[in-house]
Structure 1
Amino acid sequence: MDADIVDYSLLAGVSVALATGLAGLVARPGDMWLFLVHGGVGITLVGFLSLKLWRVRARIRAGVRARSGRVAVSILLTVLAVAALATGIAWVFGAALPGAFTLLFVHGVLGVATTVVLVGHLRDRLRLPSRATLRDRRQTLSWVGMVTLGAAAYRASDALGTARRDTGSREQGSDGGNEFPVTAWVADDPDPLDTETWSLSVTGAVAAERTFDAGDLAFDAEQRALLDCTSGWYSEHDWRGLSVGELLDTVEPVSGASWVQFRSVTGYRWSLPLSEARDSLLATHVDGEPLSHGHGRPMRLVAPGRRGFQWVKWVTEVRLWRRRDYSEWVAIQVSGL
């Protein structure tokens, strides 16, 4: 296969893998195709990367002897790419790391790093394949064959790998109360809230803003929902707490109110469309147990179909908006700093 086609295939493959990986962080139940594309492209990249390394092996050896800086970047890129692919494949087959970080999380970090280095590496080297090359039937068949082989290998690995959701997450702690993993999106780690003095404010686009003490609210709504964390685990539980729909009815959203934002004591916040928010829950209990501090006591959002980082913990305010507050994308990165 022509070297320029291999280079473009690597760039395109890494770009698609990065895009689908990032999009998967906020994927909804109807977006599972993102994970299929991500996995298929990842396995296909193994073939293209192997072909690339075989072609440049002599050049790399010569560059190492000459202590070439450009070759050093090439070696760094190779290490990052191999590590990103290896951690993804290892996760599929059930491997795990000790400590707080999962292989899936490490895989994501390595994927981003690989993309950054690859773009810089190819900036002065990438050339468009000639028209003759693109029209060459053998080149086309070779490329299609490589992609087909990658897709078949992905299906085989998916069938032989450990039990996972389409998101890649493995089950941990379902129906075990507070025994499921405690995580934070970036650095949220507030001091425990005093449940005796805690209150919930409802503000923004409502007929009358109100603040409720715990004694003012009925925590008897129940919902079974699955929490799928982007770090690679999922857990299904029976949640009990306050119906968001009933809460909103008490404050009467004004005409044009379209988004409901759930705000943490840390400043962390996330929004749901009004219709979706009505079906969500502000939980105080999980499987009959009061929420632990690490899981958001006294109250956390339960948003079925959303990823774990969108289930806001330590909720102290619900704010309604006519338009979505996009600053929350910044807030979730810096709220705990």
Structure 2
Amino acid sequence: MLIGEVARRSGVSSRMLRHYESLGLVRPTGRTTGGYREYTEGDIRRIFHIECLRALGLSLRQVGRALEDPGFTPSALVGDLIRWTEQRLEREQELLGRLRTVDASAPSGWGDVLRIIELMHGLGSADAAFRQQAVLSSAEDVRVPAELLAGAVLAESDPNVAGALRWALARAGGAAVDGLAAGLRSGDVDTRRRAVQAVAGIAADEAVPVLTDALGDTDPAVRGHAALALGARGVTAAVPVLVRLVVDGRSDVEAAEVLGTLARDPAVAGEIMDALSAELAEPAAGSTVRIRLTQALVEMPVGAAEDLLRQLSHDDDRTVAVVASAFLQLIREREPS
């Protein structure tokens, strides 16, 4: 069988067949009377064997060794090929991610593309100062992909860089919420804390349902960030968690202020006062907890808190009674004459 027919049957070009011959991988068994290469069925089978091994990723040198060395075992080489292929796929996935990030920025020219790539390189720096500078120097006229910022803030442990990223995410608005919501489903508590802080800084309406879901998180810090953000937006579902913040002494001053704002609505004030009263009456509540709850009452509207403060001014706990009396006097002085 001549080389042209072998090329047609095998799908290997005549040029490549000659290359295989020059490397000693396959040699035509004979020659015609005219001096042309003549291949046998055995030669063609060897060509197919070469192509099969190349399809696995073996180099031509490795193919030759595999075909000629009787002691050659494939296990080690195949294991290496698996590792090399996995590494190549990882590199290609990284490249694909970068391309998608650039595409999401809807660049209008190569200048925009280069600025997005500079931002990605900056965010990948091991130096926190470089990462922070990359975020803060992102051009105002370039749309930074929210997915890029969201992924960066979920992984960022440096507080200054994280603050810069939250600032950038707040500018991105509702487009960033989906990426951050994924972080709130993470099994890693630090990731969820970073996510909720970032969502809390986004004013868009899309943030509200995500923060509401976070009220049920197993971590008290995540619940607290969500409750403070929701309460500041007037969402009354945050009330139980806000009261718990006061009880636990976690951001209790901020929680009391938010509760006071919510209590300006008479329909909500009753719910808040009932919750605070219930915690004050809790037998297991110690003096420190009851003092914090009493202090929270001063943030309530005068009409809502005065009766309870009057009761507490005669409390058996002398410290609670003194604090309540002082606050009672304070709110009376605030009343218009």
Which has the larger Rg?
Answer: 2
Question: Which is strand-richer, 1 or 2?
Answer: 1
TM over 0.5: no
> TM-score when scaled to structure 1?
0.26
* Greater RCO, CA 8 A, separation 6+: 1
